[in-house]
Amino acid sequence: MTSSFELPLRPQAAPAVVADHLIKRFGELEVLKGVSLSVAEGTVTSIIGASGSGKSTLLRCMNLLERPDRGELAIADEAIRFARNPQGDITGLDRRQLQRLRAKVAMVFQQFNLWPHLSGLGNVIEAPMRVKGLSRKQATALGEHYLERVGMADKRDAYPAFLSGGQQQRVAIARALAMEPRLLLFDEPTSALDPERVNEVLGVIRGLADEGRTMLLVTHEMHFAKEVSDQLVYLDQGCIAAEGTPQAVFDDPRCRHFVAPAA
């Protein structure tokens, strides 16, 4: 006889990233109004919300491309050491810690942001060589592995200008993977693609989710977000208006109007 006590208990995974009451202002405009969010290791969180609600800013704060004005942030079990003034406003960062932690978070952008003067492989091996100090040979082996992983091995020598949007984005994903990050951030990775190219990129991201990679994803692909995410966050004017399982958020009256077309 089996009782629930005999089921293997999944240990509570430590979060890969924790944001606590993040506030971010651009001049007078408060774009994030105290956002708290944590992404458990091995899980996928998607952020949805209208244009201008602060999704990109939140993602960029999570890897410190933007410096928040208030709040706490921890990446890979390590609290960020912010310098603060007596009022508690963040005034600076510890550069060395920043460099170290940035290497643990990789980001994929809407516009791919590949280096135009480097081949597919060149794009993928650059950061492992510069940031992680790998030799060209080591980085090339790693790069080939991840280009293969995204189905782009045959385009390793092609320059971005000769690749479709979907192919460029897959190279960008390989570039992110080659850093072997603890956390992958995606900011609308399919929004700049022709409709017929969207699925090839979503397929790669779905595969990464199935592998158990830790991901934080901003997307307008509602069906995909629902299917792939462990946690869904609905951001509305800089505040988390609803969060929970995809089903719970889809059913939440506060965001039903937003997700209605996909529900």
- To Mg ion, the closest distance from the beta carbon of 33 in angstroms equals 17
Q: Tokens for 145? A: 């592995």
Closer residue to Mg ion in complex, CB, 48/142: 48
Binding to Mg ion in span 11-70, by CB under 5 A = 55-56
CB 17 within 8 A of CB 39: yes
Residue number with the smallest Cβ distance to Mg ion? 56
Tell me 153's DSSP state. Answer: G
- 124: Cα within 13 Å, side-chain hemisphere: 35
- Candidates 31, 35, 177, 249; binder of ligand ADP (CB under 6 A) is 31
CB of 19 to ligand ADP, least distance (A): 14
Provide, rounded to whole angstroms, the least separation between the CB of residue 63 and Mg ion: 14
- Regarding beta strands 183-187 and 215-218, do their DSSP bridges make them parallel or antiparallel, or are they unpaired? parallel
Map tokens 């966050």 to a residue: 233
Q: Where are the alpha helices (DSSP H) in 131-262?
A: 136-149, 165-177, 195-210, 222-228, 246-251, 256-259
User: Taking CB under 6 A as the rule, which mask of x and - marks residues 41-80 in contact with ligand ADP?
Assistant: --------x-xxxxxxx-----------------------
Decide whether 26 or 162 has the Cβ nearer to ligand ADP.
26
- Residue 24 near which of ligand ADP, Mg ion, none (CB within 5-8 Å, type-dependent): none
Using H for helix, E for strand and C for coil, what is the string for 173-187? HHHHHCCCCCEEEEE
Among positions 13, 26, 194, 260, the unique one binding ligand ADP when judged by CB under 6 A: 26
CB-based contacts of 229: which residues, under 8 Å, 6+ apart? 44, 45, 46, 217, 246
Min dist. Cβ of residue 163 to ligand ADP (A): 25
> Would you tell me which residues interact with ligand ADP (CB under 6 A)?
26, 31, 49, 51-57
Query: Which residues contribute to the site for Mg ion (CB under 5 A)?
Result: 55-56
